[in-house]
Structure 1
Amino acid sequence: MNLLHHPRLVQCLAAFQGPTELVMVMEYVAGGELFERIVDDDFEHTEPSSTQYMRQILEGLQYMHGQAVVHLDLKPENIVCVSPGSHWLKIIDFGLARKLAPDTPVKVLHGTPEFMAPEVVSFEPVGFATDMWSVGVICYILLSGESPFQGDNDMETLSNITAAQWEFEEEIFSDISQQAKDFISQLLQKDPRCRLSSPGALQHPWLQQPLPRSMKALPKERIKQFLTRRKWQVCGAGCAWGMVGGMKAPVNFSALFLFSRKQAKPCWPSTGSRCCPRARTGEHQRLRMRKVMVLNC
């Protein structure tokens, strides 16, 4: 992460390696997840605003790919707003990111099933196009609230991805422009070579030509349902991890302060000073410590 410095990417400010802990100092991003912002009652969700979000995501990806880094876990939870009142976005969570070398194929078997590309499911080499598939899925959900490959379980979802069979349901996409549909179609291509690159996506007419501001607001109910389902999935995964919580890992992550969106809440690591004051967003405090990590939650 120390190689990635861009306004659309969360920054790692420092890192410390101990005998049993890896501690990171992360930029604090207080605005919360983009999709959570969209479903607020006082927020108007439109297709023109969606183009602004997609453009920012692609700007971050274009920079990453220029540094030969793939994210490999792009999903709505990893797209956050800089502050509660801001429309500026950042990509977070580089835990699965990899730096690619020209002559060294990289294969992975991890990620979030709903957003995995076909080559990941098939255990074939990944590349920059792998991230672009995830961008297509995010855009599809952003405009419709529906997930194009979601099945009744993970196995069915992965099977749908492998088949790469999806469609624009007329009832849901009736108010979405043809340019937006073309943008998604050029990303959700089974063959990675046929997908838009990040520079190519930024040059797509949907992101280049201004859309009429008179376009009506998009419904939010399906996005709310999507978020509810995702929260249940994350909760289930957390319970599964909790069942093996007694297992020892060679390296652990530690946090000195765990900030919620509303109030700072300290969370102490196994090592490090506990004599630290609280601080809210925008406030400054003098801290004395050996190690610190700021987590986004």
Structure 2
Amino acid sequence: MRFFSYLSSFINNWRDYPAEENTILGKRYTVQQMIGEGSYGLLYKCMDQQSGDVVAVKQSRPSKGDYARQLLDREAAVLRSLQHPRIPAYRDFFTNNRDRYLVMSYMNGDTLEDLIFEQNMKYEEDDCIEITQQLLKLVRYLHEQGYVHLDLRIPNVLFKDGRINLIDFGLARRIGEPPPLQVPVRKQFKRDSSASSVQFKDSKESEDLRDIGHFMLFMLYSTYEPDNNRGTAVERSWQEELHLSTGLQNMIKRLLQLSEPYSSSLEFMHELQSLAKTRSHPSDKKGSL
């Protein structure tokens, strides 16, 4: 069994070997470099020979077969219906043998992780609120079009010239759309396995809001200074480690569904705007608990 498992892994790695630099995809897009790799797709930075534009080309991962192709079909359908300057624009879609390729406008920038750990950026409460407002405007646009992103992780939010770009709609679905099922396991390579559904998120606005809550905490931890005099045996919660104002702490608890969750992203937007307006009130300053 170990030999067959190894052979399967080798074949999949060979099939998923990325296109090399200067490879021409779709008789039009010249690969400059591979810029991303996910469970179901390979992402390239390419030059469009016809327009001269730099574009992003996403290839369905060959080893994942029909499942990866279906996911890329869905992503293409989502991007076709969206028109926002801070979201990748749909450009083209083509096939080569059984592989599918989605062409999008190319977006680059720094992630929050880059800014904090490489550029030593620190984000206070006011910074967090302003940046979250930017992100929420994009998420609200998406929700208004009837979609949820479902993957609002650090790598998918890019900072460029003081503005935010939102990328990677590979997991996006229509609000209320049932989650896809996992590709059945090939039992000849896995012993004692059984086919089951992947733990996909529900297609609800609350899932995007939960991700925003984690995004805000990541940002706020940039100012955290551990107490070296305190023992490390007892793990503390973020409420104990971060000295946040009452308003912001309650907001994050609602986002993370630790207290009554928001009914919609619109409700959260109204509360966030209200908090931003009242930040000058002495009772809502940082540390006022």
TM-score by length of 2: 0.52
Contact 2:157 2:165 in 1 (8 A): yes
Partner of 1:95: 170
Q: Distance in 2 between matches of 1:207 and 1:35?
A: 26
Change (3 A) 1:210 1:9: farther
CA gap 1:108/1:51 in 2 versus in 1, 3 angstroms: farther
Which residue number in structure 1 is paired with residue 208 of structure 2? Answer: 131
Cα shift at 1:87: 1.6
Larger strand share, 1 or 2: 2
Offset from partner CA, 1:47-94 (integer Å, 9 cap, x none): 212112111111111111111111111111111113xxx120011111
Q: Tell me how far 1:41 sits from its aligned partner.
A: 4.0
* Corresponding residue SS for 1:30: coil
Corresponding position of 2:144: 66
2:94/2:102 contact within 8 Å kept: yes
Do the aligned partners of residues 127 and 169 (structure 1) sit closer, same or farther apart at CA in structure 2, a change above 3 Å counting? Answer: closer
Report the RMSD for the aligned CA atoms in angstroms.
Answer: 3.6
Give percent identity, aligned residues only: 26
Secondary structure at the counterpart of residue 135 of structure 1: helix
Q: Which residue of 2 aligns with 1:16?
A: 94
The range that moved more, 193-202 or 62-71, is: 193-202
Aligned to 1:142: 219
Contact 1:34–1:80 (CA<8 Å) still a contact in 2? yes
SS of the equivalent of 1:203 reads: helix
Structure 2 distance, partners of 1:71, 1:179, is 26
Q: Are the aligned partners of 1:81 and 1:88 in contact in 2 as well (CA < 8 Å)?
A: yes
Write the letter of the residue equivalent to 2:247.
Q
- Structure 1 residues 108, 177: CA separation in 2 closer, same or farther (over 3 Å shift)? farther
Give the 5 Å matches for 1:41-52: 41=119, 43-52=121-130
Q: Does 1:80 align with 2:158?
A: yes
**Which of the two has higher C-alpha Rg?**
2
- Name 1:195's counterpart in structure 2: 262
**Higher-RCO chain (CA-CA 8 Å, sequence separation at least 6):** 1
Moved more, 124-133 or 38-47: 38-47
Call closer, same or farther: CA 1:7–1:199 in 2, change over 3 Å. farther
Secondary structure at the aligned position of 2:238 is classed as: coil
Number of residue pairs the alignment of both structures matches = 180
In structure 1, the partner of 2:252 is: 184
Hey, what's the Cα distance between the residues in 1 that align with 2:220 and 2:132? Answer: 11
- 2:11 matched to which residue of 1? none
Is the alpha carbon distance of 1:33 and 1:16 closer, same or farther for their aligned partners in structure 2, counting shifts above 3 Å? same
